[in-house]
């Protein structure tokens, strides 16, 4: 019985410009364009988000071109092209890892560069797999089905990056955090929905100009593209109305250096009393006083040149509903009575709920044995001073808060000496503010790196949190792209859940983010300050809040179904052969 399996195209390509070096070059061009879709060394101008609509075009041309597809080693070349694109993109996008390892990990320059390369080499495999599978679909189904499957494939691999290697850093959809119309997809499908749409537009632009397509289709596509461009242009200036505000929060920015001793041991001279007083008492008084200021300097929007800076805002004193102290390399320990009762006193004095980053010690079971675990935590006090509980950070930073595969990465132990080798938390908790005068409300706290995990943050809102609080220590990043990338990912969490997000950081960016992802107020970076912000409580839950990454999982199912479909002819051939063997030769 003749085989029904499609045979590879083996058209000679000596005259083809799409040799492997040419394909690799196009892939590297896409890597550079993708890097411009995200913050590089400061806040990203919104117009750069437009680049995301065409950034993948060079890579997709290299992967889908008809002449490239005719090469006998098409699949291999596509995988190499995709992999090198991903390798370069991660090096460009996450270059800040080098500085973190060099300055704070005490790792020599060669070793720091090696870690960046190793990190990029591992995550670049997702791009390589994208190239391989897209070429695989192109060969088995043809150009149009491959174009149709491309957005589903990209999102499926983004989901794998979030679930397998746990580094969903700067997924393509984050580039549209300032595009208010496109960002409306986030409350439905999360950042994955935005990514899907971006890849769809990129791949359609490629498909329009592929050989063999009829002119009228191209014309319709061009008209559609022009209409889409007008739509996107409007998206950057058609902003929603200001989100309602009803109360005040104070966000402390303590600006502690991550590579200095902040144990607050010893005494210091107090010029007011002309006596020596404990350093702990002096600093706690300074922090507590700053935390009760309701008229503080702030930027309107992002803390960047050109933003309006309100150095002496004209505002009346107001009651405070929430005070947040960030994750920081401080001396704060839950077990320390000075800290515990000092924070309770602050809550009572301000008649406000208090959230404070600290180190907590609690019993844990390890290998069926009870031990005392060390946690990166946030402790909560309600407005009447009652202790509300502790949230232990669940998603720890590899090489920052623990060393994965310690036997292999033995050289990275210096990093965890700086911040501790932490245990993982196990519960996502929602806390009560207590009666602050603005009523009793619920809030959820997540710590630093956890803000990049959309499906985890949504559980706070699903469990009843009316406002989200993110405490973070971005001092490890210095003046690189990372603080701004981190901020944009936190902004997307606000959009997905349509919640105000209050962000208290050690060194910046400390800010209030409204339910549409807009930074309404922010503090100057790299200074000790507090930021009094106005915000509101939201109770309505979005589709994404309730159901999470269901869209991304559907994309994965589509891809798996397509892979299974490619084996259908072979399965039919196998079934026919078995049937012929059972029936025997015809007499």
Q: What is the pLDDT of residues 471-494, one digit of tens each?
A: 999 988 888 999 999 999 999 999
Q: Residue 7 above 70 pLDDT?
A: no
**Residue 15: what pLDDT?**
42
First to last CA, the chain: 18
- Say if CB 333 and CB 359 are below 8 A apart: yes
**Residue 524: what pLDDT?**
95
Domain with CATH 3.60.110.10 in the chain: 247-535
**Confidence band, pLDDT 50/70/90 cuts, at residue 6:** very low
- Interval 220-248 mean pLDDT: 74
Pairing of strands 247-253, 322-325: parallel
Q: What percent of the chain has pLDDT over 70?
A: 87
Q: Which of 322, 384, 325, 401 is nearest to 358 (CA)?
A: 325
Encode pLDDT of 35-53 as tens digits.
999 999 888 988 899 899 9
Per the model's pLDDT, the better-predicted residue between 515 and 425 turns out to be: 515
- Say if CB 444 and CB 431 are below 8 A apart: yes
Q: Residue 9 above 50 pLDDT?
A: no
**Residue 509: what pLDDT?**
94
Mean pLDDT of the chain: 87
**Residue 349: what pLDDT?**
95
> 77-100 as b/e, with b when 16 or more CB fall inside 10 Å?
bbbbbbbbbbbbbbbbbbbbbbbb
Positive or negative, the CA dihedral 419, 158, 553, 77 is negative
**Residue 235: what pLDDT?**
62
Neighbours of 64 (CB within 10 A): 22
**Confidence band, pLDDT 50/70/90 cuts, at residue 270:** confident
**Residue 440: what pLDDT?**
92
**Confidence band, pLDDT 50/70/90 cuts, at residue 136:** very high
Tokens of 390: 């502790």
Encode pLDDT of 68-85 as tens digits.
888 889 999 999 999 999
Q: Residue 218 above 90 pLDDT?
A: no
**Residue 2: what pLDDT?**
44
Encode pLDDT of 97-122 as tens digits.
998 888 777 788 888 899 899 999 99
Q: What percent of the chain has pLDDT over 90?
A: 60
Nearest-angstrom CA–CA distance, 373 and 421: 10
Tokens of 27: 């892939």
Q: Where are the alpha helices (DSSP H) in 72-185?
A: 74-93, 96-99, 109-141, 143-163
557 three-class SS: helix
Q: Residue 14 above 50 pLDDT?
A: no
- Say if CB 431 and CB 443 are below 8 A apart: yes
- Say if CB 457 and CB 497 are below 8 A apart: yes
**Residue 5: what pLDDT?**
42
Encode pLDDT of 373-412 as tens digits.
889 999 999 999 999 999 999 988 776 666 665 555 555 5
**Residue 269: what pLDDT?**
80
Per the model's pLDDT, the better-predicted residue between 4 and 182 turns out to be: 182
**Confidence band, pLDDT 50/70/90 cuts, at residue 207:** confident
Per the model's pLDDT, the better-predicted residue between 314 and 469 turns out to be: 469
- Interval 283-292 mean pLDDT: 95
Q: Residue 538 above 80 pLDDT?
A: yes
**CATH code, 247-535:** 3.60.110.10
**Confidence band, pLDDT 50/70/90 cuts, at residue 8:** very low
Beta strand spans in 160-297 (E): 247-253, 267-270, 275-278
Nearest-angstrom CA–CA distance, 349 and 384: 9
- Interval 137-165 mean pLDDT: 94
**Residue 168: what pLDDT?**
93
Q: Residue 244 above 60 pLDDT?
A: yes
**Confidence band, pLDDT 50/70/90 cuts, at residue 573:** confident
**Confidence band, pLDDT 50/70/90 cuts, at residue 419:** very low
**Residue 373: what pLDDT?**
83
């Amino acid at each position: 019985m003749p085989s029904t399996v499609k045979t590879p195209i083996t058209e000679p390509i000596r005259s083809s410009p799409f040799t492997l070096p040419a394909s690799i070059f196009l892939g590297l061009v896409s890597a550079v364009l993708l890097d411009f879709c995200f913050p590089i060394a400061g806040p990203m101008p919104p117009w750069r988000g437009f680049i995301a609509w065409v950034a993948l075009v060079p890579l997709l041309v290299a992967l889908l071109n008809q002449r490239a597809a005719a090469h006998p080693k098409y699949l291999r070349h596509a995988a190499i092209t995709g992999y090198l694109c991903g390798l370069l993109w991660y090096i460009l996008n996450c270059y800040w890892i080098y500085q973190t390892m060099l300055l704070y990990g005490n790792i020599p320059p060669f070793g720091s560069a090696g870690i960046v390369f190793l990190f990029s080499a591992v995550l670049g495999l997702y791009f390589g797999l994208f190239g391989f599978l897209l070429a695989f679909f192109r060969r088995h189904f043809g150009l149009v089905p491959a174009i149709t499957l491309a957005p589903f494939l990209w999102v499926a691999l983004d989901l794998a990056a979030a679930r397998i290697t746990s580094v969903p850093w700067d997924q393509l959809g984050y580039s549209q955090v300032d595009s208010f119309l496109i960002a409306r997809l986030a409350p439905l499908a999360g950042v994955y929905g935005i990514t899907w749409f971006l890849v769809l537009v990129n791949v359609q632009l490629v498909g329009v100009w592929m050989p063999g397509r009829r002119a009228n289709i191209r014309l319709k596509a061009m008209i559609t593209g022009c209409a889409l461009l007008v739509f996107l242009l409007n998206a950057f200036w058609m902003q929603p109305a200001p989100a309602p505000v009803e109360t005040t929060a104070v966000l402390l920015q303590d600006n502690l250096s991550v590579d200095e001793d902040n144990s607050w041991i010893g005494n210091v001279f107090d010029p007011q009393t002309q006596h020596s007083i404990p350093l702990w008492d002096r600093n706690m008084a300074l922090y507590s006083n700053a935390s009760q200021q309701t008229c503080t300097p702030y930027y309107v929007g992002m803390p960047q040149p050109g933003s309006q800076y309100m150095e002496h805002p004209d505002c009346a004193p107001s009651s405070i509903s929430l005070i947040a102290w960030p994750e920081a390399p401080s001396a704060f320990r839950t077990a320390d009575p000075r800290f515990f009762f000092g924070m309770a006193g602050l809550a009572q004095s301000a008649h406000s709920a208090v959230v404070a980053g600290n180190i907590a010690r609690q019993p844990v079971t390890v290998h069926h044995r009870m031990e005392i675990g060390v946690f990166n935590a946030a402790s909560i006090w309600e407005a009447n001073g009652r202790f509300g509980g502790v949230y232990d950070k669940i998603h720890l930073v590899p090489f920052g808060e623990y060393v994965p595969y310690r036997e292999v990465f033995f050289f990275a132990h210096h990093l965890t000496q700086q911040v501790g080798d932490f245990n993982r938390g196990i519960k996502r908790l929602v806390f009560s503010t207590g009666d602050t005068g603005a009523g009793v409300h619920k809030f959820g706290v997540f710590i630093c790196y956890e803000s990049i995990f959309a499906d985890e943050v949504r559980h706070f809102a699903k469990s009843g949190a009316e406002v989200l609080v993110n405490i973070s220590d971005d001092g490890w990043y210095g003046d690189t792209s990372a603080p701004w990338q981190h901020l944009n990912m936190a902004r997307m969490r606000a959009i997905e859940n349509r919640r105000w997000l209050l962000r208290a950081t050690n060194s910046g960016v400390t800010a209030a983010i409204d339910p549409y992802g807009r930074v309404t107020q922010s503090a100057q970076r790299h200074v000790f300050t507090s930021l009094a912000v106005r915000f509101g409580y939201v109770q309505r839950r979005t589709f994404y809040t309730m159901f999470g990454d269901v869209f991304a999982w559907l994309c994965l199912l589509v891809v798996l179904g397509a892979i299974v479909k490619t084996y259908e002819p072979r399965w039919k051939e196998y079934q026919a052969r078995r049937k012929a063997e059972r029936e025997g030769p015809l007499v």
